Amino acid sequence: MGKMIVRVFCIFAGCLMGFGFATSVSLADKGKEMSFFVTSVGLKGGVLGGIEGADKHCQSLAASAGAGNRTWHAYLSTQATSFSDPSAQQARNRIGKGPWYNAKGVMIAKDVDELHSEKSNLTKETALDEKGRLVNGRGEKPNKHDMLTGSRPDGTNFAPSPPFPDMTCGNWTKDGKEGSAMLGHHDRVGPNNDSWATSWNSAHPSLGCDPDSLHKTGGDGLFYCFAVE
């Protein structure tokens, strides 16, 4: 009888240990669940339905990949219409605090400062889409390495447009030859090795805002999505 009690106790204790292990694994996995991706498809050139429409696109793609339980924002900035207009948004302030992981559980950056530093782990191998797939880079056909950002290297917005050039396709409402958008290279590759050419968020402006112009520049109207929480 005594041996039976000991055996039952051991089985029960083993179950508890197993439950604790499973819980710890579950929590560890949850900490590394996808919180960053590149959109697998764009919308209509620079027309994203404003920054709110871009956020909805991120949310929809995340949901299709089983990550719709989180709040997703597009890594995009906007420009004010004048120096007295406080409405402009900065990409770096829209994406939460981090850390961020791709669909394979690889960390992109631990926080906003690291993301915008040389320590950022955003490369072609890590900048995967919501399904965990690589996105075409420079030298591949079609080239899709240009990412819409409308941002400066530190993730802040450009000066008002007008009087300064449009860097956000009219705050993501234009799809014609008029206007442009600042682009980043998700593969960190450009025509040379200068910092601007290898920037993931501020490499060069597009030729226009329509899909054809974006294609000619080297992109497909894709952009980055981050889980805010």
Q: Shortest CA distance to 223 belongs to which of 16, 36, 34?
A: 36
DSSP 8-state symbol, 92? G
Residues, the chain: 229
Give per-residue pLDDT as tens, 126-141: 999 999 999 999 999 9
User: How do beta strands 204-205 and 72-74 pair?
Assistant: unpaired
223 forms bridges with which residues in the sheet? 148
pLDDT-derived band at 32, boundaries 50, 70, 90: confident
C-alpha span between 86 and 163 (Å, rounded): 16
- Per-residue confidence (pLDDT) for residue 10, from 0 to 100: 40
Give per-residue pLDDT as tens, 184-229: 999 999 989 898 999 999 999 999 999 999 999 999 999 999 999 8
32-227 to CATH, choices 3.40.50.11540, 3.10.100.10, 3.40.190.10, 3.30.450.40: 3.10.100.10
**Residue 19 pLDDT > 70, yes or no?**
no
- Per-residue confidence (pLDDT) for residue 229, from 0 to 100: 83
Q: ω into residue 86 within 30 of 0, thus cis? A: no
- Per-residue confidence (pLDDT) for residue 12, from 0 to 100: 38
Global pTM reads: 0.86
226 forms bridges with which residues in the sheet? 36, 73
Q: What distances in angstroms separate CA 59 from CA 3, 148, 171, one per listed residue?
A: 57, 17, 19
Q: Shortest CA distance to 129 belongs to which of 103, 107, 105, 148?
A: 103
What are the sequence ranges of the domains in the chain?
Answer: 32-227
Coil, strand or helix: which one is 117? coil
**Residue 22 pLDDT > 80, yes or no?**
no
- Per-residue confidence (pLDDT) for residue 31, from 0 to 100: 58
